[in-house]
Amino acid sequence: MGYPGPVERLIENLSKLPGIGRKTATRLAFFLLNSRVDYVKELSQSIQDIKEKIKLCSICFNITDIDPCTICKDQKRDSSVICVVEEPSHLMVLEQAYPGVFRYHVLHGVINPLEGIGPEDLKIAELVQRVKDSGISEVLIATNLNLEGNSTAYYIADQLKPLNVKVTRIASGIPAGGDIIYTDPQTIKNSLENRRDIF
Ligand SMILES: [Zn+2]
């Protein structure tokens, strides 16, 4: 015999979350069942809000609830450098390690032929257009220092070549094959400051 319909449905929906199996989903469902109604309403509202209120910034493609986002609006940042990152979560990590300096461009992935992800699936054309349109003198590519991150960096550098803009790559310090998200702030700061030309 299963749990009552609504409980079953919640367990089923929670099990779809990454890393949550049926056992954990059941535990969470009963936690919610025993929680105060205010909390449950607040939780479900905050889940809905990320779909209804969060969009991509029309300039840098970071996630935001206002457009342009607060980083793009920030006049104190260097307007001659764009730091290119794979994901919004990477931007957050860089920004926490090295706050208030760069403007960014979020690719929303990396080129990965095995998973069928090509340049046209990323915000690369938008980056090239942005560099064309504005007074950018340097593009710092801060994709991960692994195979996909490197080949994406070289692809972007190639696309930017005709524009006569300086293209740099974060320095190691971030271990080869390493993921930015698991790197400590000091190492990130060093790799941004010691960036090097890509060609
Ligand atoms: Zn923005």
CATH number of 43's domain: 1.10.8.420
Answer yes or no: do 80 and 39 share one domain.
no
- What phi and psi values does residue 53 have, to the nearest 5 degrees? -110, -15
Residue 174's pLDDT is 63
pLDDT for residue 186 is more than 80: no
Do residues 40 and 64 make contact, with C-beta atoms less than 8 angstroms apart? Answer: no
Answer yes or no: do 96 and 16 share one domain.
no
Whole-number Å distance, alpha carbon 58 to ligand 1 midpoint, is 7
pTM above the 0.85 mark?
A: no
Q: How many domains does the chain have?
A: 2
Structural domain of 48: 5-52
Range with the poorest average pLDDT among 8-22, 108-122, 135-149, 167-181: 167-181
The string of pLDDT tens digits covering residues 146-176 is: 889 999 999 999 999 999 899 999 876 666 6
Answer yes or no: do 89 and 11 share one domain.
no
Whole-number Å distance, alpha carbon 45 to ligand 1 midpoint, is 25
Q: What percent of the chain has pLDDT over 70?
A: 96
Answer yes or no: do 116 and 188 share one domain.
yes
* Best CA proximity match to 64, nearest among 48, 50, 85: 50
The string of pLDDT tens digits covering residues 20-56 is: 999 999 999 999 999 999 999 999 999 999 999 999 9
Residue 162's pLDDT is 93
Cα dihedral sign, 97-100-102-103: positive
Whole-number Å distance, alpha carbon 132 to ligand 1 midpoint, is 17
Cα 132 versus chain centre, distance: 23
Whole-number Å distance, alpha carbon 125 to ligand 1 midpoint, is 16
Answer yes or no: do 71 and 166 share one domain.
yes
Whole-number Å distance, alpha carbon 123 to ligand 1 midpoint, is 13
Answer yes or no: do 65 and 160 share one domain.
yes
Whole-number Å distance, alpha carbon 96 to ligand 1 midpoint, is 16
Answer yes or no: do 79 and 98 share one domain.
yes
CATH number of 187's domain: 3.40.1360.10
Answer yes or no: do 42 and 127 share one domain.
no
Residue for token digits 């209120």? 53
Whole-number Å distance, alpha carbon 104 to ligand 1 midpoint, is 7
Answer yes or no: do 25 and 62 share one domain.
no
